[in-house]
Structure 1
Amino acid sequence: MVNRGVSCVGRGVPARATLDVPAETAYQVARWLSNYRNTHDARPWQRVATPFVQAVMALRWVNEAIDVPSLARDAGVSVATASRYLHEAIDVIADQAPDLPDVLAEGLRQGWAFVCLDGTLIPSTRVSAPSQAGHDLWYSGKHKQHGGNVQVLTDPTGYPVGVSDVEPGSTHDITAARIHALPALYPAATHGLPTRPTRATQAQAPGSTPPPRATTSPPTITPGTGRSTHYAPRQNAPTPCSTHLESPRARHPRPLENRPDHHRSTGATQTPKTSPVRRPH
């Protein structure tokens, strides 16, 4: 655990708090920040806050979603400096993440049977940019809100092992996958690590098996409901990643109309049959 020192609760009441992060993690981030300062700063010793204080600021923001003014107050810096330190720390931490080919190579060494690829929208109200067509690039018509499209790669257990750079919210999942994920996933598939995609990327995912096509067998009617699942669209079929990354929406086919004159005609000479109607009491 990391002791993040004295903070102010409410109106200037001092209180000590502990950050729920291993101390070694904070020290490692501080070492990364120290190396970054020594490389990019002409006078790194003139910084108003130490690398450890900057590391604690970033870890608090990641783990507790603390607002920037509170981080600035507890660190003893201005809001502008805290915002600059926070973005700098995020970039330094992100630079330590392995590339996608390295992640897939490690998965092959560990014997993963497959990986899952799915796109998600990170909501945000601070981004907006017009396109050539006149619509907002960062507005997702699918999700009905602004945000960024991020491609997430998980191992067979569903644990995230890779996250792509952000694309505008109006970007389709398959377009974002072609940019950030597929160039590394195709070589991995040739070495025995296929990708189990969602419905949006089913056609382009390397090594994936599409769901079976509908057969010509008669429709199956569920007794007592009059509902048929034979004519459900192929796109509605669950994919192997559905259990890991998302919960498919329940889809209800249109039930048969319950009218006295409703009938199925199978020939010109067939006599219409009526269905019993339950009348209200």
Structure 2
Amino acid sequence: MCVKTHRPAEGSEEAVYQVRLPLSKRTIDLVAGLIRKRRKALGSRWRKLAPGAQAVVVLAVLRHDQRLADMAGGNAVAASTVRRWVKEAIELLAVRAPRLDRALRKIARSGGAVVLLDGTLVRTRRRTGVDNRKNFSGKHKAHGLLFLALTDEKGNLI
């Protein structure tokens, strides 16, 4: 008779998964600073992780498409918490992005005559349910999100 248990394999409960996150300290500090300001504005007294650690988790999810459950388990938080952190960070970063009309005016004032708009598909995992086909690119035959970039004639990101 075989008895099934739900215990991890011997010695596996202490396993650690590491990846190299190629980000500058400046990027992590920027995101952590935005999170810190947001917490102060909300009057948040306590969070599970410090703003810097939260920024690293968010950037790992965004940069390497790490599974939320994996990042949550390694940081002793729920996957829904990581999802909320990612959404919050995206909103904070989006507020900093210049509006298109303002960016174009700035280029015109500086004497620029050429603006380049280019895009690429950032591949993502397939979604389930009704969101499955929403992010599917027929051209590339893959799931993903369209990333657009506006540059000047020298290729500098605007």
Same fold (TM over 0.5): yes
Could you tell me how far apart the structure 2 residues matched to 1:157 and 1:61 are?
A: 31
CA contact (8 A) 1:69 1:79 kept: yes
How much has 1:55 moved relative to structure 2? 1.0
- Code of the aligned partner of 1:13: A
Any idea what SS the aligned residue of 1:44 has? coil
Q: Which residue is 2:23 aligned to? A: 21
Gaps of 5+ in 1: 1-9, 130-135, 162-281
Pair 1:30–1:152, CA change in 2 (3 A):
closer
Instruction: Map 1:84-233 to 2 at 5 A.
Output: 84-118=84-118, 120-123=120-123, 125-126=126-127, 128=130, 140-145=137-142, 147-148=144-145, 151-161=148-158
Where in structure 1 do 4 or more consecutive aligned residues deviate above 6 Å?
15-18
Any idea what SS the aligned residue of 1:27 has? helix
How much has 1:46 moved relative to structure 2? 2.9
Pair 1:110–1:70, CA change in 2 (3 A):
farther
How much has 1:71 moved relative to structure 2? 1.7
- Once the two structures are superposed, residues 83-142 of structure 1 have per-residue CA deviations (whole angstroms, 9 ceiling, x without a partner) of 21122112112211222233223433554340123455555532857xxxxxx7665554
Could you tell me how far apart the structure 2 residues matched to 1:152 and 1:60 are?
A: 22
Any idea what SS the aligned residue of 2:45 has? helix
Pair 1:68–1:138, CA change in 2 (3 A):
closer
Q: Return the TM-score normalized by structure 2.
A: 0.66
Instruction: Map 1:23-102 to 2 at 5 A.
Output: 23-39=25-41, 41=42, 44-102=44-102
- Code of the aligned partner of 1:103: A
Larger Rg belongs to:
1
Pair 1:88–1:100, CA change in 2 (3 A):
same
Gaps of 5+ in 2: 1-11
Greater helix share, structure number: 2
Could you tell me how far apart the structure 2 residues matched to 1:160 and 1:137 are?
A: 28
- Code of the aligned partner of 1:23: K
How much has 1:33 moved relative to structure 2? 0.9
RMSD of aligned residue pairs (Cα, Å): 3.4
Higher relative contact order (CA 8 A, sep 6+): 2
Could you tell me how far apart the structure 2 residues matched to 1:90 and 1:149 are?
A: 15
How much has 1:64 moved relative to structure 2? 3.1
Any idea what SS the aligned residue of 2:150 has? strand
How many residues align structurally?
144
CA contact (8 A) 1:54 1:89 kept: no
Pair 1:65–1:110, CA change in 2 (3 A):
farther
- Code of the aligned partner of 2:72: A
Pair 1:55–1:158, CA change in 2 (3 A):
same
Any idea what SS the aligned residue of 1:49 has? coil
- Code of the aligned partner of 1:37: R
CA contact (8 A) 2:32 2:52 kept: yes
